[in-house]
Amino acid sequence: MKSTRLKIFILLTMFAAVLVGRVAAQTQVVTTAGTIEGALHEATGVRSFKGVPYAAPPVGEWRWRAPRPVARWRGVRQTQRFGAACIQRVAGSRLPWSSEFMVQEEISEDCLFLNVWTAASSSRERRPVLVYIHGGGYQEGSGAVEVYDGAKLARHGLVVVTINYRLGLFGYLAHPELSAESKSKSSGNYGMLDQLAALRWVRRNIAAFGGDPALVTIAGQSAGASSVHNLIASPLAKGLFQRAIAQSGSSVSGLPTPTLAEAEKAGQAFAKAKAAASLRELRSMTPEQLMSGAVPSIRFAPIVDGWALPQDALAAVIAGHHHDLPVLTGLNADEASSQPTYGRLPAVDFKKQAADRYGARTPDFLRLYPAPTDAEASIAQKEASRDRNRVSMHLWATRRALTSRTPAWTYYFTRAIPWPPFPQYGAFHTGEVPYVFGTTDRLDRPWQQKDHDVSALMMGYWVNFVTSGNPNGPGLTNWPAFDPARDTTFEIGENTGERTITTPERWQFFREYLQSSQVVRGSILF
């Protein structure tokens, strides 16, 4: 009897060992730096690998330097948990961005990690790859934010990668001493260099996850979309991707990009405020010391450094100095609804704002957007913001078409996340992201069937574009490619289909204004 029990025990142990071995084989991947082990979701077949280092930690003497290769490791590195987010001020939530849209994990300078989701059954597959760059104004965010979970898109056939990159003063501080020590004689775009390093990691390693290194789409929202445009304009990015998606970020009046000289001067002012007489002293400070206290009002963000970014991304497109590849881009109906004045200015203040902004054109503007009462002013504010943003996007696509052979597709997203306590936010900035990733289930909202339909639609368009360079496919409403001769875009949300930009008179007003010397770059809130 004991002998029989012993045999059964041995057989069960051997069977368990075989199962463990099979799971390990499915969840282990050999990268150029060593073997990693992720996690398998057995119900869906999606494997996830979180907190995978793609560059060495940029700490100590390597703060404010180009990223270095990862040191090889022995054995198996566990990658079932996200790595730390890059140094930033962690807000937790900031309406309309609830916690699902914001960083919740620890922060560290040791933060150059990426995450991979794949449903490929072997490394012999060659699935299209989506590399998603998070938003956050270059000041916050990470690839681990909940709404960026790539499992659903992986189930639809993509290999999804999200990345961290250095932020704020850690990612974009320029200084003459930094430029002098650099081989490129430039400084400031460390976050962008991180993005390039992540894309090189993808080119070298993604085949091991069943991805196709020759079929990579870069995508991003807000600062992520701005990053996409900068990478399209960067000679260092040649051959690293074949398509691009920019969500909330294609405009002829976006924020101006400072020059290296301007950024170096700002960096000197920052160092002076920190009483740092040298670069060595700045590097000796802790992140807390660098981020605390009174400092000049400096926006640390990408600059025209003459190397990674030789010229402003819009200027590069106009000059034809960009990577010519298919682009999908769009914006949301209520991009500026996080601002306290959006749709809330009294009529008298709205008219004053119009006079400050449009000068001699103000009578024409108020005729097109009348505001005799506060209620009518609220409507006029929203309509003017939406029209202006759509016209600006159309003008960007028109300028791109003059120097491109590849097509573009533009969209206008109008579905407001159901949110009874906060209806004023509408289709807010970033509100389309859960629909694209299929992560609506991460948010506690009174979802309707319409929301599930819109999410399925957007996932279909995005997957098709990443796969073929064209969002159209069976079962989807036809999305016409951008045509400069047609004053239209493609609405996704409350309605789906081609729609006009705005009325002919409003179109003419904003087209003339946005192409005039009167417009101030950066006045459109993306």
What positions carry a catalytic annotation?
222, 335, 429
C-alpha to C-alpha distance for 480 and 23, rounded to whole angstroms = 44
* Long-range pairs for 396-400: beta carbons < 8 A, 24 or more residues apart: 396/250, 396/251, 396/252, 396/314, 396/317, 396/329, 397/250, 397/329, 397/482, 397/484, 398/484, 399/252, 399/314, 399/317, 399/318, 400/317, 400/327
User: Alpha-carbon torsion 294, 257, 487, 514, what sign?
Assistant: positive
CB 245 within 8 A of CB 232: no
Pairing of strands 327-332, 243-247: parallel
Helix axes 223-233, 190-205, angle to 10 degrees: 70
CB 54 within 8 A of CB 113: yes
Tell me the residue type at 222. S
Question: Can you tell me which residue has the tokens 């001020």?
Answer: 89
CB 437 within 8 A of CB 356: no
User: Where are the strands (E) in 90-210, listed by range?
Assistant: 107-108, 113-118, 127-133, 159-163
Q: What are phi and psi of 281, to 5 degrees?
A: -65, -40
List the one residue out of 506, 489, 525 whose CA is nearest residue 398.
489
Residues 6 or more apart whose Cβ sits within 8 Å of residue 328: 243, 244, 245, 246, 408, 409, 411, 461, 462, 465, 471
Tell me the residue type at 520. V
C-alpha to C-alpha distance for 290 and 279, rounded to whole angstroms = 12
